[in-house]
Structure 1
Amino acid sequence: MPADLVDLNAFVAVARARGFRDAARITGASASTLSEAVRRLETQLGLRLLHRTTRSVTPTEAGALLLERVQPALGEVEAALDMVNGLRDRPTGTLRLNVPVSAARLVLPAILPGFLEAYPEIKVEIEAEDSFVDVLASGSDAGIRYDERLEQDMIAVPIGPRVQRFATAAAPAYLDRHGRPTHPRDLIGHACILGRFASGALTSPWQFEQAGEIVRVEPSSRLIVRVGGATDLAVDSAVAGSGIIHLFEDWLRPHLDSGALEAVLEGWWQPFSGPFLYYSGRRLLPPPLRAFVDYVRTARHPSAT
């Protein structure tokens, strides 16, 4: 006969807390109730699962093996029950997303307000960073990445604009002083503004494309900023005339439209595919994430065209 889920949950709680009293405080059950549940489970299995002393409670070899295998399974059961309950009532809970700073600035503003209005009982937490972290290990439910950064065994859902470009631009005053490049190779010798990822890698070479010709340029730089946190500083420096910047077109568009920045080599700006919302395909989706995935898939957003 399969072990009772109540007894399994009691065993997991005691094993994790390393004691019946601490487990009782965490679960709200009495220590005697937990002890009886563990004894039932041990009797049913014919194996001792916990070493009990007056000072501590530790798993036996069999208990450690059971704990390792049963914890994820019980988590799936809990997630399944939460999902079913979410069908009965409006989804509730917290949605945690790990996204690059560019997505927090250029993608989510067109999506989150409508989602929050549609699901007022869901709270959203956004972690914006540009280091390549494991989304699940970081405690997030899902992440936003570009296709070349997607991890294996993950499900990817298009989110935001499907085509983007990197734009190259500089202040008109800078170009008046130093000349206007007509070919990507003309960037050599110009003062260019670069970014550096947390890994230490620079945002170079810059890549351009026109009529099937691809040109990569390794620009020199007197100003290097941390990608994400200091990107606005790079933009402000370009506006102030410190050099040529190469960044998401949407990030630079307000300054291009106002005339604070002038497009450089616009015919060479290379398009690339837009970002994806991605999450593990090996687990049941908690209701807040399911609601967000459905919203992204079905709602029309200004940035999705």
Structure 2
Amino acid sequence: MTVARAGGFREGARVSGASASALSESVRRLEATLGVRLLHRTTRSVVPTEAGAQLIERLGPALREVEDALDVVNVFRARPAGTLRLNVPVSAARLVLPSILPPFLATFPEIRVEIVAEDDFVDFVAAGCDAGIRYDERLEQDMIAVPIGPRVQRFATAAAPAYLDRRGRPAHPRDLLAHACIRGRFRSGAMPPWEFERDGEIVKIDPAGPLLVSSGTAADLAISAALAGAGIIYLFEDWLRPHLDSFMLEPVLEPWWQAFSGPFLYYSGRRLLPAPLKAFVDFLRQAGG
């Protein structure tokens, strides 16, 4: 499971603390015992065979049950220990967690946090994570949600002053249709429209532009392009704030910037909370209170 999740013996060794040769020998013995090859090995990658993939699918829930059972002894420790795995959007890794994780890790030095940052909306349980961070429109109904980070955020539009001097300053969101706009697209192919709101009026537009990047993961490239005068960018205000404060970027249509509720940590209420996750939830609630 470790090797398959890590995509290789070397990375699996780094994650588990074992040696790559020990992991390789363990997998070799398992394959010999079962009489089936479980992993395809090349010089560049290690991927499960069909038999290996089916075994991993069945082992996942069983191993989580074993981990939960072993975690029971955590309540007898002076301080909780173990690994907390979180699946989060890139924006949360950039804007939310930096102010939360350092004090949490200082409070619980025996807890190790593993962050999987991606903007695809995956099943965090199936991905081997304890919890996820999402916004309310993405929360599943059977999940428990705990507020994390800022409770109100905004989407902002901005551009380099030189670009606006050259192309003009939009007065209404629809004016953006005549501008060069830097767009983002999720790996699924979805390219959400830009949404604006003022005095109860909501305007959604689908502008065009010279640059299209992967949402979240390539946001810094989009910002660099905007700073260089390539066009107008639409992103979390907090992400753009340092450049707005330095006047390297100029706000565009600020009265139309749409506010939305902040993110939530969410986890399944159907299973006993692992000690590291319980410590994190309690830490968030105490900080929020």
Length-normalised TM-score, structure 2:
0.77
Contact 1:86 1:92 in 2 (8 A): no
Q: What corresponds to 1:179 in structure 2?
A: 168
- 1:78-89 equivalences in 2 (<5 Å): 79=68, 82-89=71-78
Q: Which of 98, 111, 134 is 2:100 aligned to?
A: 111
Query: Equivalent residue for 2:204?
Result: 216
**More displaced, 142-151 or 247-256?**
142-151
Larger radius of gyration: 1
Q: Does 1:201 align with 2:190?
A: yes
Unaligned 5+ runs, structure 2: 1-25, 27-32, 36-57
Q: 1:257 aligns with which of 245, 259, 269?
A: 245
**Which residue, 163, 178, 184 being the options, matches 1:189?**
178
| Match of residue 164 from structure 1 | 153
Per-residue deviation, residues 137-180 of structure 1 (Å, max 9, x unmatched): 00111110111111231111110001000000000000000000
**Change in CA separation of 1:173 and 1:73 when aligned onto 2, cut-off 3 Å:** closer
Q: 1:75 to 1:262 in 2, by over 3 A?
A: closer
Q: Judging changes above 3 Å, is the alpha-carbon distance between structure 1 residues 87 and 209 closer, same or farther for their aligned structure 2 residues? A: farther
What is the aligned-residue RMSD (CA, Å)?
Answer: 2.5
Asked if the contact 1:256–1:262 (Cα under 8 Å) also holds between the matched residues in 2, the reply is yes
Q: Secondary structure at the match of 1:247?
A: strand
Residue of structure 1 in register with 2:115 after alignment: 126
1: CA distance between counterparts of 2:186 and 2:34?
46
Please state if 1:230 is matched with 2:218. Answer: yes
CA distance in structure 2 between the aligned counterparts of 1:177 and 1:87, rounded to whole angstroms: 66
SS in 2 for 1:299: helix
Give the Å deviation of 1:84: 4.7
Query: In 1, distance between residues paired with 2:34 and 2:96?
Result: 51
Could you tell me the percent identity over the aligned residues? Answer: 73
AA at the equivalent of 1:297: R
State yes or no: 1:239 paired with 2:227.
yes
Pairing of 1:59-74 with structure 2 (within 5 A): none
* Secondary structure, counterpart of 1:130 in structure 2: coil
Q: 2 CA distance for matches of 1:124 and 1:165?
A: 28
Q: Deviations over 1:199-248 (max 9, x none)?
A: 0111x311111111111111111110011221100001001100000100
1:99 aligns with 2:99: no
Local SS of the residue matching 1:188: helix
TM-score by length of 1: 0.73
For residue 33 of structure 1, what is the aligned residue in structure 2? Answer: none
